[in-house]
Amino acid sequence: MKLFLQPNDTFFFRDGKPFTKGEQSEGYSIFPPLPSTILGALRTAYIAEHGDLPSFYAGKMVETIGTPNSLGFVRLKGVFLADRNSGIYYPIPLDLVVKTSVKKDDKNRLYPLEVCPNNANMRSNASLKLKYLLRWNGKEDVEAETSGKLKPLYMQQYLLGEDRPIRFNSNEDFVCDEPKIGIQRSRETLASEDNMLYRINMSRFQSRYRDMSELGFIADYECNTLLPDNKGLLPDKGLLKLGGEGKSFLYESSIHNPNPFPTKNDVDKLKKAIKDSGGFKLYFATPAIFKDGWLPKTNLKSIEFVTAAVGKPIAIGGWDMKKNKPKSTRRAVPAGSVYYFKILDGCCVDEIINTFHYKNISDYQAKEGYGLCFVGVAEGV
């Protein structure tokens, strides 16, 4: 089930770094929000609609949203930036780069890195020796674009390995910052307290283009099929609180499907392209948390890990409302990270698609929307 979430005002989503009163003066924000933030908001809205926190703590909602220690029958596939009318926007894959010397034809255009054999003249910060590395072989200087977004058409082109220009929208096309400065006041005297000045970066959606009229987020989730009339967790329309300072968002059901290959014909086209190339890649649309740090475990036989483009790790934490203390923090690979694999004899492309495509393969918190993976073509492996 898909929900479109649209803010009524500014919004603020905390990162995983500490922000303790009197110790840190600035709270850092992230965009878009982490999947667990969205799922927490959906569960909280369900509690408000069907009872209260004591009922939830007592296990009276175990068949829908679970308990404080489990998710029950609800799970989140992922969260995406979206426009109500034009659809989904995806994080840019990290094996695509932009040229630093921007010409008119190169503006907002992405270029693929090439798979090259690893040799003594090449350097990598990977913790294991890789047979291949991703490299830019052009003469121009390039850099990663870590904050932009791709439209569905370009995401399909990328995953299919089509040799056509891929263009992106920068973050400035979607949001602008509105810094907020405040200070904590004493509850007894209402006077300002010493050393309690703080600053946070609120965000507000903006639209530079005509086709971006109503920006928000798409949440794709699944829930208990025993709910009345097979409906979702929440009414068709409503309000919920999301992010820092309890900002309100309008929500309603959405027809937009985040899966870039939603039909059988689309999947068949992807399968053929993978068979022809002899390799595939895993693109992560949401952050993923792995037991072995940056490297995912793949239980399929007859595939060989070749190389990867992985961004800087991000901190995944949160606040335990029942225990009134921070949750344990884990390090995750960011959305946009890409892993390349070679298909060996005996491996079936159908098995690859069924195992990985539009599946959450994070070792931790997969039901909270982490590790949502798309399968694409990997050339040159």
Q: What is the DSSP string of 223-240?
A: --TTSGGG--SS-SEEEE
271 and 368 housed in the same domain: yes
Tell whether 79 and 162 lie within a shared domain: no
36 and 127 share one domain: no
Residue 46 CA, distance from chain mean position: 23
Q: Name residue, tokens 């949401």.
A: 286
Over residues 183-210, the mean pLDDT reads: 72
* Listed range (28-32, 278-282, 359-363) with the worst mean pLDDT: 28-32
The pLDDT assigned to 229 comes to 59
Q: Are residues 249 and 266 in the same domain?
A: no
% of residues, the chain, pLDDT over 70: 85
Contact 361/375 with Cβ under 8 angstroms? no
Band of pLDDT at residue 30, cut at 50, 70 and 90: confident
Instruction: For 344-354, write each residue's pLDDT tens digit.
Output: 987 799 999 99
Give a yes or no: residue 50 inside a domain: yes
What would the pLDDT profile of 79-94 be if each residue is shown by its tens digit? 999 998 888 999 999 9
Q: Residue 42 is part of which domain span? A: 2-86+210-253
Q: For residue 377, what is the domain's CATH number?
A: 2.60.40.4350
Separation of alpha carbons 340 and 343, rounded Å: 10
Q: Which amino acid is at 287?
A: P
φ/ψ (deg, to 5) at 304: -125, 125
359 plus 276 within the same structural domain:
yes
Q: What is the DSSP letter of 337?
A: -
Helix (H, G, I), strand (E, B) or coil at 23: coil
d(CA 238, CA 67): 23
Q: Alpha-carbon distance 250 to 265, whole Å?
A: 34
pLDDT at 299 over 80: yes
Residue 337 and residue 220 in one domain: no
65/104 same-domain check? no
Quick check: 316 and 365 in contact, CB under 8 A? Answer: yes
Residue 164 token pair = 């056509």
* Residues 80 and 148 occupy one common structural domain: no
Is residue 32 reached through a cis peptide bond, with omega within 30 degrees of 0 on the bond before it?
A: yes
Task: Examine residue 29 and state whether it is found in any structural domain, yes or no.
Answer: yes
Domain match, 370 and 271 both: yes
Backbone angles phi, psi at 190, to 5 degrees: 65, 10
Q: Would you say 366 and 328 are in contact if contact means Cβ atoms under 8 Å apart? A: no
**Is the Cβ–Cβ distance between 308 and 339 less than 8 Å?**
yes
Give 327's DSSP letter.
P
Overall average pLDDT of the 162-191 stretch: 82
* Res 263 pLDDT > 60: yes
Q: How far is CA 278 from CA 118, 269, 271, 281, 379, in A?
A: 19, 15, 11, 11, 8
DSSP 251-286: EEE------SS-SHHHHHHHHHHHHHHTEEEEEESS
CA 325 from centre of chain: 25
The phi and psi torsions of 201 (rounded to 5 degrees) equal -95, 95
345 and 301 within one domain: yes
144/271 same-domain check: yes
**Do 29 and 143 fall within a single domain?**
no
Dihedral pair phi/psi, residue 14, rounded to 5°: -70, 150
Number of domains within the chain: 2
Is 199 within the bounds of a domain?
no
**10 Å Cβ neighbour count for 248?**
14
